Amino acid sequence: MPSLLKHIEGTSPCPYLPIPVQVLNSVHTRSLGRERGPVFYLAALEYAQSLWLQGFPARSLLLINRALGAEMSGSEAVLQDWPLPYAAAAWVMGHRSEDQFAGNPRRHYQHLATRMVEPRKELRTWRAWACWHMARSIFPEYPADEKQIAEEGVIEPDQATIFGELTRLGHPGEAELWSRAANAEAGNSGDPNVSPASAAGRSAQSGNGYTEDCSNRTNGSVHQRKRNFHRACNE
């Protein structure tokens, strides 16, 4: 019996996610069992792309979350081709159409960060806050869960704090990778919470083609945009 799933014709793929050779469903990751290393990471990114192409941005973001939770040291070969998907998360949030359900990403990432469980709880918490920061910038009109903030004393971290924690806990260069994605996709300018390191990274972008590429994302090929992003990440 043929699958009822399909990629929507004319949908542009996310340039920061691998394109699968066929339409995928949950079997793509579930079949890996307890594997949560680089094989799972790539599978989660492929499934996230397929969900985006099927018209499910909220579910795509959930798979990006799962990829960010993979157990890796930062030296894995797959990260050379597909860096940690901060840019992918920002792109999916910024490119979903009005008629596509995305929920409230700001609230989603707030809950993810404050209710994180093991394994790798601390690092995954700060990765969730990193995505929360991008969601807050992309959707400034979306409310936080003020009830949770009031009742649990949740403190929303600023960009400098997130940058520092990703530097302390994350892969080498992860904080800079996130900062470039956050600033480029969300159009972050004049933010008093920008850390010195991220501000310097943003200034350096003027010569690497990435900022211009994100502001003119309808031009050029997917592969060229991916190459530009990889070059920016490795500088």
In this predicted model, what pLDDT tens digit does every residue of 114-154 receive, in sequence order?
999 999 999 999 999 999 999 999 999 999 999 999 999 99
Q: Name the band, by pLDDT with cuts 50, 70 and 90, for residue 195.
A: very low
Q: Where is pLDDT greater, at 137 or 234? A: 137
Lowest average pLDDT, out of 8-17, 155-164, 166-175, 187-196, goes to: 187-196
Q: What is the mean pLDDT of residues 162-171?
A: 98
Alpha-carbon distances, residue 1 vs 4, 30, 106, 199 (angstroms): 9, 21, 39, 54
pLDDT higher than 90, residue 4 = no
* pLDDT score at 185: 66
Encoding tokens for residue 220?
Answer: 């050029």
* pLDDT of 201 over the 50 cut: no
* C-alpha torsion angle, residues 176, 181, 182, 188 (rounded to 10): 100
CA distance 30 to 32: 5
> Which pLDDT score, from 0 to 100, does residue 227 have?
45
pLDDT in tens, 51-76: 999 999 999 999 999 999 999 999 99
As a whole number of angstroms, the distance between CA 113 and CA 107 comes to: 10
Share of the chain above pLDDT 90, in %: 73
Averaged pLDDT for residues 163-192: 83
At a CB cut-off of 8 Å and minimum separation 6, what does 217 contact?
15, 225
Domain parsing of the chain, residue ranges: 27-234
Rounded to two decimals, what is the model's pTM? 0.79
The reported pLDDT for the residue numbered 98 is 86
Q: Encode the chain in three state secondary structure.
A: CCCCCCCCCCCCCCCCCCCCCCCCCCHHHHCCCCCCCHHHHHHHHHHHHHHHHCCCHHHHHHHHHHHHCCCCCCCCCHHHHCCCCHHHHHHHHHHCCCCCCCCCHHHHHHHHHHCCCCCCHHHHHHHHHHHHHHHHHHCCCCCCCHHHHHHHCCCCCCHHHHHHHHHHHCCCCHHHHHHHHHHHHHCCCCCCCCCHHHHHHHHHHHHCCHHHHHHCCCCCCHHHHHHHHHHHHHC
- Residue 131 has a pLDDT of 98
Q: With 60 as the cut, is the pLDDT of residue 15 above it?
A: yes
